[in-house]
Structure 1
Amino acid sequence: MHAHVVGWGKYVPRRVVTNDDLSRMVDTSDEWIRTRTGIRERHLADEGETTATMALEAARRALEVARVSPAQLDLIIVATVTPDHLFPATACLVQDALGADHAAAFDLSAGCSGFIYALAVAAHLLETGAYRTALVVGAETLSRITNWSDRATCVLFGDGAGAVVLQAGENEGGVLATVLGADGSGGNLLILPAGGSRWPASHRTVAEGMHYLRMQGREVFRFAVRKMPAATREVLERADLSLEDVDLVIPHQANRRIIDAAARALGIPEKAVYVNLDRYGNTSAASIPIALCEAAEEGRIQPGDLVVCVGFGAGLTWGAAAVRWTRPQPPPLSRWRRFVHRLYYPLAALRSWLRRLGRRMAAVWSWVVGERGDRDRQRS
């Protein structure tokens, strides 16, 4: 069995913050940000938008492209470092909102490498025959953990979500090979210090800004420009392929200098590297699936193409996936078919509400029965 990418979708918030907007908040400028990062603007979540709501919209779009019903999903993995809650998993919230009643669901945290990690896990599970159809989502609301008075970090990050649908098939292609790695000795280089069991939320952690992400940029830069080319070469070696076979590289969209340095180290032309960093900034685990989706929509990926997705992130972690594309961009659904497809979701919401109501009624009934039993025992 092979795990094929059969659907893709993305979502970014409507709110756009440009470099000029940031220059009115901190001591920076459009020129300073563009020359050092390659970023022009980023999308930030509005009030009411969360990692789960963005993941849900990206998932719906991916399912629509795949022509797959939520009822067909066996597995949902959401890669994120900004879940709605520590628990329940954001993947469970997405599973409920989709109405994917038959799907197992869990979150995966591997920083900006999270989507590659999740893709690898899902692909291996499909290859074993344990599952047939999986939804893999990378989604982040980094604006909620960014210190907007810190010039070194606030210019870098954005919010968004990207998703792919994987389906097992006997035909050749799909996810050919994956490489995953970690080096926990660098965990302090990119970290959200507080909010976990080590430093629970307190007046002190809030006052000291420990609920904002912290990054040692130079060390992360050196790590990235070393690991991205190495992971790319390793995954191609595992797939018994070479750089000459690659049609498109989709790197984690963190910094244009990192992307350019990695491309030079690999000796690949600029046209073979997909970049949308200028419009979205660093969206962590969402960056690769958003870029993958855009590349497919723009016709940059065609059936038979070899695509390498490669990233790095907090942990420190890194990963790469070699994918032989087997699915053409499908024609848009007709208005009627789109209506029927989207009708599933309000029905899923109704079903979820009825289940919650049923649990409340069961609790009330249990209490009534218990009270009646206590009274009967007292009388006897």
Structure 2
Amino acid sequence: MAHPDRPAPADTRDVRLLSVGTALPGAPVDNLALARRFGQSPQWAEWVDLFVGTRTRHLALDLDQGTHTHTLADLATSAGLRALAAAGLAAGDLDALVLGTATPDLLMPGTVNIVADRLGLDQVPTFQLQSGCTGAFQAIALGRQLLRAGEHRTVLVIGGDVCSRAFDLAADVSALPPEQLVNAMLFGDGAGAVVLSADPVPGAPLVREVFTRLVGLGQAPGQTLAWFGPNDRPDGTPAVSEDYKAIEARVPALSAEIYHELLHRLDWKPDELGYLLPPQLSGRMTTRISEVLDNPSAAEISVVTTTGNNGNGLPFLQLEQLLPRLAHGERALAIAVESSKWIKAGFALEGA
């Protein structure tokens, strides 16, 4: 049984975050473009901006043609190559590859193995974790544990999603119930990657803590993403459904729990934080969460208003903004809440 109030045991094997790389498909798509595609008025676009707080997003599809332009493997490979280049490494320097996603391109082969093939990797362990907004945190946690176990020196961790695969571009959005309509506003596509290392690389931030924890025992899912075979799709069952009211009610409180747990586990004080990377469901939700966390000493790193919620790509987009700013001794916390079956996750970095 896990004890969330008990600090994690000390480990002398440090793990460092060497670099980050990201990939976004195409140009930003604003709310007016969405309104035009769905046959809605400019007032609808203004309502999206007010209700969701997200102005633009990047989509792996051509809205006019209704065709997909990028796969998750495309974006993940690009992000991975950029992270490797930023670390001054080649794919041959890697000991393992980990991918976190809720939207793999196929059930088999795993998208992680398609990415490995494109990177030229072979004879290395590969892991694919399927999860929603905390999948990137789970992937980082696994990468860190692989390094701390002592058998590996360098791991590439990737997270990303192509949420637009679930879009029904022919849908009459004016007739959709809120739990389906909200998905057309919230989500975008993208991927990111980090290189983690057990080597004492000067200047590379230390990954001080990572945790993920299921907290949804006996509770209804806040989000579902269905998979259908050719013969088992029930009539009228939506591919994606979101209980946005439940998410609004629960995510700020869960975020506060993660925030305080990380501080407790690390014995850090709130005023010692330089940066805070809050959950990125939407611009509006990020504002609500930040108000609950109420830490004016920590600069907020938030990108969702311009990138949309691209799931497991988002933490890496936040890290891309954080790393150039994180000075020696400065501390940062990142928080994520997954509503699919309610998972809490967080990680902590310290500048070196």
Report the 3-state secondary structure (helix = DSSP H, G, I; strand = E; otherwise coil) of the residue aligned with 1:169: coil
Q: Output the amino acid matched with 1:250.
A: L
For 2:348 and 2:197, how far apart are their aligned partners in 1? 16
Report the counterpart of residue 330 of structure 2 in structure 1: 305
C-alpha distance in 2 between matches for 1:269 and 1:147: 41
Please give the alpha-carbon distance, in whole angstroms, between the structure 2 residues aligned to 1:179 and 1:106: 18
Match of 2:211 among 163, 176, 179: 179
In the TM superposition, what are the counterparts of 1:116-155 in structure 2 within 5 Å? 116-148=137-169, 149=171, 150-155=180-185
Encode CA deviations 1:274-323: one digit per residue, 9 max, x unaligned. Answer: 11111111111111111211333xx3333432121110112221200011
Q: Which structure is larger by alpha-carbon Rg, 1 or 2?
A: 1
Q: Summarize the Cα distance change of 1:237–1:169 in structure 2 as closer, same or farther, 3 Å threshold.
A: farther
Q: 1:285 to 1:20 in 2, by over 3 A?
A: same
Residue in structure 1 matched with residue 349 of structure 2 by the alignment = 323
Contact 1:15 1:45 in 2 (8 A): no
Aligned positions of 1:189-200 closer than 5 A = 189-195=222-228, 200=229
Contact 1:111 1:315 survives alignment (8 Å) = no
State the match for 1:35 in structure 2: 50
Shift of 1:102: 4.1
Identity rate of aligned residues, in percent?
A: 26
- Provide the rounded CA distance (Å) in 2 between the counterparts of 1:270 and 1:22: 37
Runs of 4+ in 1 over 6 A off after TM superposition: none
| 1:213-252 matched pairs, under 5 angstroms | 213-252=240-279
SS of 2:262 mapped into structure 1: helix
Q: How do 1:277-356 and structure 2 match up within 5 A?
A: 277-296=304-323, 299-313=324-338, 314-326=340-352
Measured after TM superposition, the shift of residue 20 of structure 1 is 0.5
TM-score scaled by structure 2? 0.84
Structure in which a larger fraction of residues adopt helix: 1
For residues 234-273 of structure 1, the aligned pairs below 5 Å read 234-269=261-296, 272-273=299-300
Structure 2 contact 276–298 (Cα < 8 Å) conserved: no
Name the amino acid aligned to 2:46: E
2:175 alignment partner in structure 1? none
Q: Which runs of structure 2 are paired with 1:42-61 in the superposition (5 Å)?
A: 42-46=57-61, 47-61=68-82
Aligned length: 318
Find the counterpart in structure 2 of residue 8 from structure 1.
20
Instruction: Please say if residues 104 and 110 of structure 2, whose CA atoms lie closer than 8 Å, have aligned partners that are also in contact.
Output: yes
Aligned counterparts of 1:2 and 1:39: Cα–Cα separation in 2: 37
How far apart, CA to CA, are the structure 2 residues paired with 1:251 and 1:26?
33
Change (3 A) 1:221 1:270: farther
Q: 1:224 deviation in Å?
A: 0.8
1:70-109 paired onto structure 2 within 5 Å: 70-109=91-130
Which residue does the alignment assign to 2:65? none
**Residues in 1 aligned to 2:122 and 2:281: alpha-carbon distance in whole angstroms:** 36
What is the TM-score normalised by the length of structure 1? 0.78
The structure 1 residue matched to 2:199, chosen from 165, 169, 173, is: 169
Unmatched runs of 5 consecutive residues or more in structure 1: 327-380
Q: Identify which of 198, 201, 208 aligns with 2:236.
A: 208
Report the residue type matching 2:312 in the other structure: A
Per the alignment, residue 4 of structure 2 pairs with: none
CA contact (8 A) 2:274 2:298 kept: no
Q: Secondary structure at 1:301's aligned position in 2? A: coil
* Residues in 2 aligned to 1:21 and 1:173: alpha-carbon distance in whole angstroms: 40
Return the alpha-carbon distance in structure 2 between the equivalents of residues 270 and 258 of structure 1.
20
- Residue 108 of structure 2 aligns to a residue whose secondary structure is coil
Deviation at 1:29, TM superposition (A): 2.3
Please report how far the alpha carbon of residue 9 of structure 1 lies from its aligned counterpart in structure 2 after TM superposition: 0.4
Q: 1:324: Cα distance to partner?
A: 1.2
| Aligned residue in 1 for 2:6 | none
Deviation at 1:223, TM superposition (A): 1.7
Q: Distance in 2 between matches of 1:270 and 1:39?
A: 25
